[in-house]
Structures are given as C-alpha cells and as structure tokens.
A and B are shown apart, each in its own frame.
Chain A
Amino acid sequence: MDLPSIDLSALPDLSTLTGMFGSLAEGRSPGHDDSIVILATFLYDVQPPGGGGLF
C-alpha cells in the first residue's frame, strides 16, 4: 500500500505544552537573557582562543 508520509510539523502538540526540565527557574521571566553570552565571555577571558584551551 502506498502510504502518505506525515510531516512532523503537521502533527499537533498537546493543548498544554511542557517545557524542558529546569526551564521554570524561579524568579526568571519568560523570554531571553544574556546568561549564555556572560558565560561565553567568562570562558573567553579565562581561556582565550589560541591558548591551547577550549576552542
């Protein structure tokens, strides 16, 4: 039988979505912040590229 292939994006989610574990950190408002930039800057400062380090 020739079956249709179903596109994932056409399949609905549940009516109540569940975020990843830890995504409801208390006191954080939904949206974006610069935590990852701060972390990347810190890593760059302590171990800059070419220093035989992380990158």
Chain B
Amino acid sequence: MAAAADAWRREAETGQMLGELERYGQGASLAQCPAMRALFGDGRSAPRLVAALVRTFAAALAREPFAHPPFRHGYDRGSATLMLARSGRAQLVLHGCEPGSRRFDVVSFGDGERREAVLAGKAKARIVRRRGQAGPFALQRLTLAPGVRLAFDMRAKALQVLAIERRLVSLRLHRFASLPAPTREYRLADGVLLRQSAGDIRASRQEVMLALLGRMRRADAVPVMGAIAREPGDASLRWQALRECLALDTAAGFAVLSELAAARSDVLVAPAAALRAQLLEAHPELAGLAIVPCPA
C-alpha cells in the first residue's frame, strides 16, 4: 500500500497538486495554485485525481486484502475519512458518508476556509449562515451530487448533510486560520452559544502543559507562564497561564494580573480587574505588591 501511495504521489498531476498544497498551506491564495483551483473549480480534475488513487489502491488491495492505507484514516458511525495530504495549515481529505438521515439541533462554526468537490452519491443538505454575532440563522437548501463544488468561509457558513440517498463521497480542502479563534457551537433554533472549544491545537497542548507544570509546583515555569498571560493569543490559554502563575508565585502572578487589569485594550481587562479587586479584598497585603516587577 505504501508503494501504491508513492506511485500515486509520483503521478504528474498529483505531484503538482502536492506542491501547490504546500504553498496553499503556507498562505498562498487558491488563484496562485492552478492545479488546486482546478480540483475545486472544474468538474473533471477532482474525479481524475481520486480515480488515480483508487486504481493503484484497488490493485494493491487485490494482492493484500488486509492492507491498510498509509494515510491517516478514520471511521465513525457511517462517516469515513482518509487524509490524502497535509501541509502547513491545509488538509486534503477524502470523505465518505453512508446513506441515512440526520437531524441537527446545533450548528458549529470554525475558523478557516473549506472547499468541497462532490465526487459521487446524492444527498440533501443545507448551508447554515450566520447573520451577525447572534440571532437565528439563514438556511439555504441544496442537493449534493457529482459535479457540485462548494467554497465557504467556515466562520460564517456551515454545511449540514441532512439525508443521504446514495453513499456520498467528496474531496475536501480545509485551511485553518493562522491563529484560529475557538470553534463555537450554537443552538439552531435561536442562535444561543452553547459551547466552544479551542480552534488551535497548540493552545490546548500548552494549556495541558501549564496545568501539569502547576501540579508539579514547578516555580521555574513562572516566567514562562507570565509571558504567555501577557502576550497576544488564545484568551483561555492566557487566563489559565495567569491562574497557574498566581497559584505558583503570588508576587509574580499578582504583578501580571495588575498589568492585565490596567491594559488599554485587552479582552482580559475586565476579568483581570474583577479578579484583582477580589484578591485585594481577600488579601489586603497584596496592595503593596503592585509595583513588584515580574521576573518574566
């Protein structure tokens, strides 16, 4: 299977696409990537690319029926994915979905852009579009069938597949924002924000590291925690860094907290000011600390 994948990658068309995916993953526009643009623009390029892959894989599977594809792959309740390539912020994924119906009470919006080329199958779907920051959503129904090409900003639009008549196979191109905002899930009926999760895997990784360093009582991590809390970035990560910093080193943490509370424009100004007031009330002796410089 690895040799089959290599053979597919060596094909001229695939090679060009992979080269362009690298540029696209670094931030180039799709207009600068003609092969990628064709994949998600015309009706022939995407089926040809996937047919070439399936041809080489089918021959390898005929010889080794239990072989696994050398791509990251997954299957979950009728939905299968095969990540054909990934570079920088971009991912090219082959997606298959078994027939069936789904009901949606919620809608999620990420921070990135998505293109989709439907290769096979038939399904009823809808685009859910945000109208401003809150409130109900605009719904636009569409039929997914071979030849359909979609492109949308994931911050404003989401695709929901409602009923699949025949197994739906599509090629998807994702590109996440360079500093992705959290993914947010809203109730469809009224647009109320229900939950959100980090849009950036690095932020979550750092958050777990901070928690671990905090539990280990690693005082040497205090300067790094202070720096993370002060620097621009994911608000949740910064707040957790501040909490861990305060718990590990009261003086250093309080200096960072005072700095944030006095900042001119920062999303953490209000919660930092509230926490500072709360701590000062509980521990009046902290008032004398405001001028202590942070070691970071």
Give residues in A with beta carbon < 8 Å to B.
1-8, 11-24, 26-27, 30
Among A1, A7, A26, chain B packs the most CB atoms within 10 A around the CB of A26
Contact (Cβ within 8 A) A7 B247 = yes
Stretch at the interface among B35-43, B192-200, B221-229: B192-200
**How far in angstroms is the closest Cβ of chain B from A21?**
4
Contact (Cβ within 8 A) B250 A6 = yes
Measured between beta carbons, the chain B residues less than 8 angstroms from A1 are 285, 288-289
Question: How many B residues face the partner with a CB closer than 8 A?
Answer: 40
Could you tell me the distance between the alpha carbons of A16 and B234 in the complex, rounded to whole angstroms? 13
Main secondary structure of the interface of B (DSSP, over half): helix
Main secondary structure of the interface of A (DSSP, over half): loop
Given A11-B246, A20-B207, A27-B77, check contact A6 B195 (CB 8 Å): no
Could you tell me the distance between the alpha carbons of A22 and B102 in the complex, rounded to whole angstroms? 21
B12 close to A (CB within 8 Å): no
Given A6-B250, A11-B247, A14-B239, check contact A21 B289 (CB 8 Å): no
B87 close to A (CB within 8 Å): no
Measured between beta carbons, the chain B residues less than 8 angstroms from A16 are 193, 196
**How far in angstroms is the closest Cβ of chain A from B242?**
8
Could you tell me the distance between the alpha carbons of A3 and B195 in the complex, rounded to whole angstroms? 37
Measured between beta carbons, the chain A residues less than 8 angstroms from B246 are 6, 8, 11
A12-B271, A14-B271, A24-B195 provided; 8 other pairs, C-beta below 8 A? A1-B288, A4-B286, A6-B246, A7-B247, A8-B243, A14-B239, A16-B196, A23-B197
